[in-house]
Amino acid sequence: MTATTAPEPVVVDELITETADRLFGELCTHEAVQAAEDSGGAPDIWEAFYETGFDLIAVPEDAGGSGGTLAEAIEVLRLVGYHSAPIPAAENGILGGWLLAEAGLERPDGLVTVVPPRATDGGWSGGGTCSASLNGDGTAVLSGEAHRVPWARSADVIVCVCECDGHSTVVSVPASECTITPLPNMAGEPRDTVSFDGATGRAAPAPDGVDAGTLAQRGALSRVALMAGAIEKMCQLTVSYTNERVQFGRPVARFQAVQQHLVWAAQDAALVRMAAEVAAREATRGDAPFEIAAAKLLANQAAARATKACHQAHGAMGMTQEYPLHHFSRRLWSWRKEYGSDAHWSAVLGDMATGVGADGLYPLITSGTAALA
């Protein structure tokens, strides 16, 4: 039997974890997160994040990024979720930064956001309900509307992937040329409507492997990371609260019925963090369609269970604005619906599982994407 070589390990620099955790821990207080929700932005938190250079991890240095691996960028996003940092870290970095770098478009100064692709029957369409027509001089004219664009109102640049003459094309438009209508998600995070109205942007063909589908995969991975952090923090809040709250003469965490909520939430926290880290590891090495689809489906399902368990364990206190649980639960309910619903990813995974057949089913579980080849 020939000896098998395992792939090179993917390591995340501990300094990144420590620095991001400390930064967000200091800035993203309950009050600051609430204030960002009320005002629709947190420029001071973004500025501090920008100063670290962490906003462009995994964007190559020759494209104006900070270098580093996708796994490291994902670790930062996990901490964004853990601290409910009210900033478009994913859009600016591993989504927008990635699209611009891959297409060879110059990264303009300022904050970049991305038009999320829209799920279609069995696939993804890039620009939502907008379309682009190429001018033949490296520019394109955009028309129509894009929906649920994160932090568009604060962005300097809006990037989208459009189909032009049968090719995926990356278009980068100054936000000042667009009409932006604010819309919040359930957590009060900006998810704005953008009317392009003939705005002109720079355009470049996307290389192989960059299209609405792969953008959706990266987007889904970003949401899994955010959700992993949020579930973990929500679970910790719940353990603390139930050990402090005394009823019938003892902490409510001593009651078996409450322990059930704690255990189920802890399992979901562990499951989603594991899914995020394994999917990030495989996506750092190459294509990871199975791991990302599986991770997003697990995160979506876990968000539903864990928010229910944590709210129930908190009683009425968790239903107030004063107590921070809602920063995490409302984000989870929103992120669950972004970059692919349960039904979408189940269908994608179902095609993979039935495609490999009975003899391939367990190898798919153990080897993931590698078993699809």
Partner 1 sequence: MRFTPTELTGPELDLQAEVREFLARELPPGTHEPCLGMAADHDREFSAKMAARGWVGMALPSRWGGSDRTAVQRFIVVEEMLRWGAPVGHHWVADRQTGNVILKFGTDEQRERFLPPICRGELGFSIGMSEPDSGSDLASVSTRAERADDGWVVNGTKIWTSNAHMNDWFICLLRTAPMEDGNKHAGLSQFLIDLSSPGLEISPIPFLDGSHHFNEVTFHDVFVPDINVVGQPGMGWHQNTTEMAYERGGPDRWLSPFSTVEQLLREAAGTPMEDAVSDLFGELAARWWGIRNLSLSVARLIDEGEAPSVESALVKEMGTRYEQEVVEKLVQLIDEEYSPESESLFERLLAQCVVTFPGNTIRGGTIEILRSVASKGLEGLPA
Q: Is 351 in the site for partner 1 (CB under 8 A)?
A: yes
Is the Cβ–Cβ distance between 87 and 154 less than 8 Å?
Answer: no
Q: Which of 78, 281, 311, 330 binds partner 1 (CB under 8 A)?
A: 281
Q: Which of 29, 135, 243, 247 binds partner 1 (CB under 8 A)?
A: 243
* Interacting span for partner 1 (CB under 8 A) from 82-90, 135-143, 151-159, 270-278: 270-278
Q: Is 122 in the site for partner 1 (CB under 8 A)?
A: no
Structure-token pair, residue 296: 């997003």
C-alpha 3/C-alpha 74 separation (Å) is 32
Strand pairing category for 157-164 and 112-114: parallel
Show the site string, 205-224: x = touches partner 1 by CB under 8 A, - = not.
--------------------
Q: Is 70 in the site for partner 1 (CB under 8 A)?
A: no
| Nearest distance in Å: CB 346, partner 1 | 4
Instruction: Give me the sign of the Cα torsion angle 269, 356, 371, 216.
Output: negative
- Reference 62, options 20, 16, 97; nearest CA is 97
Residue 4 or residue 208: which is nearer to partner 1 going by CB? 4
- Cα angle 322-325-329, degrees, rounded to a multiple of 5: 130
* SS3 of 218-249: HHHHHHHHHHHHHHHHHHHHHHHHHHHCEECC
- Reference 300, options 262, 268, 347; nearest CA is 268
Q: Is 248 in the site for partner 1 (CB under 8 A)?
A: no
Q: Is 368 in the site for partner 1 (CB under 8 A)?
A: yes
Q: Is 116 in the site for partner 1 (CB under 8 A)?
A: no
| Nearest distance in Å: CB 334, partner 1 | 22
DSSP code of residue 344: H
Show the site string, 302-341: x = touches partner 1 by CB under 8 A, - = not.
----------------------------------------
Tokens 């609260």 — which residue? 241
Q: Can you point out the beta strands (E) in the chain?
A: 112-114, 118-120, 123-125, 129-134, 139-150, 157-164, 167-174, 179-181, 191-195, 199-205, 246-247, 250-251
Residue 197 or residue 244: which is nearer to partner 1 going by CB? 244
Q: Which of 63, 183, 186, 239 binds partner 1 (CB under 8 A)?
A: 239
The angle that helices 325-335 and 30-39 make with each other, rounded to 10 degrees, is 50
* Interacting span for partner 1 (CB under 8 A) from 105-113, 164-172, 331-339, 363-371: 363-371
Tokens 């269970």 — which residue? 305
Q: Is 26 in the site for partner 1 (CB under 8 A)?
A: no
Residue 216 or residue 275: which is nearer to partner 1 going by CB? 275
Contact residues toward partner 1 (CB under 8 A) are 1, 3-7, 233, 235-237, 239-240, 243, 253, 256, 259-260, 262-263, 266-267, 270-271, 273-275, 277-278, 281, 290-291, 293-295, 297-298, 343, 345-354, 357-359, 361-362, 364-366, 368
